[in-house]
Amino acid sequence: MFIINSNKCIGCGLCVKDCFQKEIEIIENKAYIKNESCIKCGHCVAVCPENAVFTDEYNMMDVNEYSKNNFDISEDNLLNFIKFRRSTRQFKNKDVSEQMIMKIIEAGRFTQTGSNLQEVSYIVVKDDLHKLKELALKSLKTMGEYILGDGNITDALIKRYANLWVKMYDLYLENPEKNDRLFFNAPVVIIVTANSDVNGALASSNMELMTNAMGLGTFFSGFLVSLGVKEGHKIATCMVIGYPDVKYKRTAPRKKADIIWK
């Protein structure tokens, strides 16, 4: 439940105004949360000027007071940071610590979700990465052989990928370290799962920004999306993460934005 400390509440009504579920009302100059259709978004916690709102369902130690020095970033710096990021496919032989992985996941955990479902989950693969790699490559080879053997599939791009998948597996067996064309010898993979593709993608986008902020690199591998995970969830993204073994000097060009103004 979300609860208001009546001793702290000054009845200003800011929480009432910001609650789109209309779960809060003022009674005798004090705010009161009904907790009937509350989606636990925490806006009441964040907006209260007297820090009078708390919950017994989440860890209130997660709540940080706003300060300009710790929270603000200029729009130009943020835009440049986004422009400068690159998908990394060259990684150093260097481990990524558990503390860094947890900070990346924190960036996902605090990303918005539809109706505040917070149903995004994370599978961190480190010690068993070679098993995942072999499973994925073998599955891709099987899929590639099926496509190449099916006379009804004539799409040139699909066949090109099918040939690539078959070769990737065979080359990997010859020299697993040199010919890792799936994870490029990165030390960790984070598989992001969710009920909603949008929720998983939003979390992954913020996680990618965090990897870059910590001096790491990542790319999103689309090869694992078809694998199965726990019931009710599906793989949204597969983030291959490590220390980049390449230094970029500038941003890269992009197409002009396709915008419709009305």
Q: Residue 226: pLDDT band by 50, 70, 90 thresholds?
A: low
Q: Is the pLDDT of residue 225 over 80?
A: no
**Domain 87-126+187-242 is in which class?**
alpha beta
- pLDDT tens per residue across span 28-81: 999 999 999 999 999 999 999 999 999 999 999 999 999 999 999 999 999 999
pLDDT of residue 233: 78
What percentage of residues in the chain have a pLDDT greater than 90? 81
CA distance 137 to 251: 32
> What pairing do the DSSP bridges indicate for beta strands 217-220 and 234-242?
antiparallel
Question: Average pLDDT of 146-174?
Answer: 89
* C-beta separation of 15 from 55 below 8 A: no
Q: What are phi and psi of 28, to 5 degrees?
A: 55, 45
Q: Which amino acid is at 22?
A: K
Rg (C-alpha) for the chain, rounded Å, is 23
Helices (H), 75-149: 75-84, 98-109, 129-149
- pLDDT tens per residue across span 228-240: 666 767 899 999 9
Q: Is the pLDDT of residue 6 over 70?
A: yes
- pLDDT tens per residue across span 117-154: 999 999 999 999 999 988 889 988 998 999 999 888 88
CA distance 146 to 129: 26
CA distance 45 to 145: 55
pLDDT of residue 202: 97
pLDDT mean across residues, the chain: 94
CA pseudo-torsion sign 144, 121, 218, 102? negative
CA distance 228 to 109: 22
Which CATH number is associated with domain 2-62?
3.30.70.20
Q: Domain map of the chain by residue range?
A: 2-62, 87-126+187-242, 137-174
CA pseudo-torsion sign 225, 108, 58, 35? negative
